[in-house]
Amino acid sequence: MNLSDVKDAFPILKQLENGQPLVYLDSGATAQTPVSVIDTIARYYREENANVHRGVYGLSERATDAYEGARSKVRRFLNAASDKEIIFVRGTTEAINLVAQTWGRRHLKAGDEVVITEMEHHSNIVPWQLLREELGIKLVVVPMTDDGEIRLADFEACLTSKTQLVSVVHMSNALGTINPVADMVQAAKKVGAKVLLDGAQAVPHMSVDVRALDCDFYAFSGHKLYGPTGIGVLYGKEALLDAMPPYQAGGDMIYSVTFDKTEYNVLPYKFEAGTPNISGAIGLGAAIDFVESIGLDTIAAYEHELLTYATRQLQTIDGLRIIGTAPNKGGVISFIVEGTHPHDMATLMDQDGIALRASHHCAMPVMQHFDVPATLRASFGVYNTHEDIDRLVAAVEEARTMLV
Ligand code: PMP
């Protein structure tokens, strides 16, 4: 697919918002869905809908093939070693909670240390706080610089012989910073710690190879990758997943059940209790086809160019301050405009058809670091254009003039 045609693949972007053509700049919250994904989900319900792994009739076998086919696509997409390492979950949040509640509860004890960073999304903070309350583990937070960067030396200084797990974001949703995760994994291995990477923002914007990274767990959400909501992935190394107790219990995650004893199913089914999100997984498979038809490297280069252009243009606005100025960033610009509240700015910009977020972005410690209640955040997807950026800049100027 040619990049100039990409926008046409997204029906929702043809809509008017408040009488203006929609400029969607909130892909960090959720990306829009291309017609190929929408059609795949519709076709599933029209032609293949049945429960998986249960029926011997043709329809159920076709649904099972499609569901397991999506798993294989995810495996290839992440370059995992085996389909057994791909667990379908609701999203990044559930993936991290799964690791905390199964691996964490089994392996961590009072005094053990879990290392996170100051730029984590709440979904990579609160699950560990729950474990801290329950088990008495210690949560160690790597500080970030005023550019919104994690320095490798600061990270290494937080690693000790008590570090059992490092759980860090690959790309920050609040700042756009891309962390040096390959080096972080290597450093963590030296103290014998396991590593979980939160790939919610990274996966739509760059190619990810879990074997090259050598991380133990990798989590992402389908809806940020142009797929449907309610589906996501936990990658885990097979030996680790095998040794973990199940997360939830019910149908499909068992091999045999008596009232005295239950034997669990093999991977990956051990972690997929109950009827899974079948259409979601198949939709996610179609989303992977979509990004691969363009190429993750092409997407990364295009979005980098948009980011550079948008940064330059926004910096021309009086009183505008960009929050998060790390040299290695993905397509996210967080900013504030002196003398205005982000919510007022976003409300006015909505009148111009510009959809961008004003919030703490589920990363309140980041807001605390920069001493702001919230920021405006423009986050890009593959469908955004230079014209979108020009409209964003004009709308920021106009809203600022009205408020200041
Ligand atoms: N981590 C990061 C970095 C995110 O951006 C998000 C979503 N904003 C999440 C985790 C949580 O993802 P989900 O809500 O899809 O579970």
The 3-state DSSP class for residue 137 equals coil
The DSSP symbol for 37 reads: H
Percent of all residues in the chain with a pLDDT value above 70, rounded to a whole number: 100
Q: 92 CB under 6 A from ligand 1?
A: yes
Per-residue pLDDT tens digits for 175-190? 999 999 999 999 999 9
Question: In ligand 1, which atom is closest to the CA atom of 123?
Answer: 10
Ligand 1: which residue has its CA nearest to atom 8?
A: 29
Instruction: Pick the residue whose CA is nearest to atom 5 on ligand 1.
Output: 173
For the segment 106-110, the average pLDDT, to the nearest whole number, is: 97
For residue 55, the model assigns a pLDDT of 80
Q: What is the pLDDT of residues 328-360, one digit of tens each?
A: 999 999 999 999 999 999 999 999 999 999 999
In short, whether 167's Cβ falls inside 6 Å of ligand 1 is: no
Domains plus CATH for the chain? Answer: 3-30+295-403 (3.90.1150.10), 38-292 (3.40.640.10)
Mean pLDDT estimate for the chain:
97
Burial of 263 (0-12, 13-18, 19+ CB in 10 A): exposed
* pLDDT higher than threshold 80 for residue 136: yes
Residue 298: pLDDT over 70: yes
Residue type, 53: H
Q: What is the mean pLDDT of residues 97-124?
A: 98
**Distance separating alpha carbons of residues 5 and 243, to the nearest angstrom:** 47
The reply to whether 158 belongs to the active site is: no
Cα separations in angstroms, 173 against 14, 115, 213, 225: 26, 19, 20, 14
* Cα separations in angstroms, 17 against 21, 49, 143, 349, 399: 6, 34, 40, 11, 17
Establish whether residue 91 lines the binding site of ligand 1, counting it when its CB lies within 6 angstroms of any ligand atom: yes
Mean pLDDT of 88-108: 98
pLDDT for the residue 3: 79
Round to whole Å and give the CA distance between 107 and 105.
6
pLDDT confidence tier of residue 397, bands split at 50, 70 and 90: very high
The finding on whether 31 has its CB within 6 A of some atom of ligand 1 is no
Q: 1 pLDDT exceeds 70? A: no
Cα–Cα distance between 186 and 181 in angstroms, integer?
Answer: 9
**Which residue's entry shows tokens 């080096």?**
183
Q: 96: Cβ–Cβ under 8 A, 6 or more apart, which residues?
A: 123, 124, 127, 167, 196, 198, 219
Ligand 1 within 6 A of CB of 205? no
CA dihedral over 121, 127, 132, 138, signed as positive or negative: negative
Q: Residue 199 C-alpha to ligand 1 middle, in angstroms?
A: 8
* Marked catalytic residue, from 362, 364, 372, 394: 362
From CA 359, how far away is CA 362, in angstroms rounded? 8
Residue 93 Cα to ligand 1 middle (Å): 6
Contact criterion met (CB below 8 Å) for 233 and 89: yes
Which of 224, 220, 275 has the alpha carbon at shortest distance from 250? 275
What pLDDT score does 2 carry? Answer: 65
Average pLDDT value for residue range 264-277: 96
How much is the average pLDDT of 83-102?
Answer: 98
What is the reported pLDDT for 306? 97
Look up residue 72 and give its DSSP letter: H
What CA–CA distance (Å, rounded) separates 145 from 104? 29
Per DSSP, 107 falls in state H
Give the 3-state secondary structure of residue 372.
Answer: coil
